[in-house]
């Protein structure tokens, strides 16, 4: 992978991480300013459900940040863009679609098939 491509993906990953952190800060601010004091029990239940979904989303994004940080470390180490299973280059199209990808499409498919088989056992 060329230095220009590495710079491109580093900037892409950093921007993605910053967007997630901004969204998380917005959620925190809204949680602190809004209260669940709806008089109607149905409205309160609806609000609590909405917040539960929002918090689950933020938890998934927190885990995503760890993957983004790992991808940036792989760029720094010169390992970014190479499959961790086969060592083959990951296609630029795959990295565009999933910048945190650690496997080629073929290796990922094999991994998912093996996972499915082991779950069925």
My answer on whether 68 and 114 are in the same domain is: no
CATH of the domain at 62: 1.20.120.910
The predicted model scores a pTM of: 0.76
My answer on whether 38 and 90 are in the same domain is: no
My answer on whether 70 and 95 are in the same domain is: no
Q: Structural domain of residue 103, as residue ranges?
A: 81-121
Per-residue pLDDT of the chain (121 residues; tens, 9 = 90+): 899 999 999 999 999 999 999 888 877 766 666 655 667 778 778 777 877 887 888 888 889 999 999 999 999 999 999 999 999 999 999 999 999 999 999 999 999 999 888 777 6
My answer on whether 61 and 8 are in the same domain is: yes
Residue 30 to residue 52: CA distance in whole angstroms = 13
My answer on whether 92 and 52 are in the same domain is: no
Residue 45 to residue 36: CA distance in whole angstroms = 9
My answer on whether 37 and 71 are in the same domain is: yes
My answer on whether 27 and 70 are in the same domain is: yes
Residue 116 to residue 76: CA distance in whole angstroms = 33
My answer on whether 64 and 76 are in the same domain is: yes
My answer on whether 7 and 27 are in the same domain is: yes
């Amino acid at each position: 992978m060329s230095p220009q491509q590495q710079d491109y993906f580093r900037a892409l990953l950093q921007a993605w991480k910053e967007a997630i952190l901004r969204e998380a800060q917005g959620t925190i601010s809204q949680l602190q300013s809004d209260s669940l004091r709806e008089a109607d029990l149905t409205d309160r239940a609806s609000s609590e459900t909405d917040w539960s979904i929002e918090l689950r989303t933020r938890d998934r994004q927190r885990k995503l940040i760890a993957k983004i940080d790992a991808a940036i470390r792989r760029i720094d180490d010169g390992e970014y863009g190479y499959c961790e299973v086969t060592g083959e280059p990951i296609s630029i199209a795959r990295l565009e679609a999933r910048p945190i990808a650690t496997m080629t499409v073929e290796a990922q498919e094999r991994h998912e098939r093996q996972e499915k088989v082991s779950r069925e056992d």
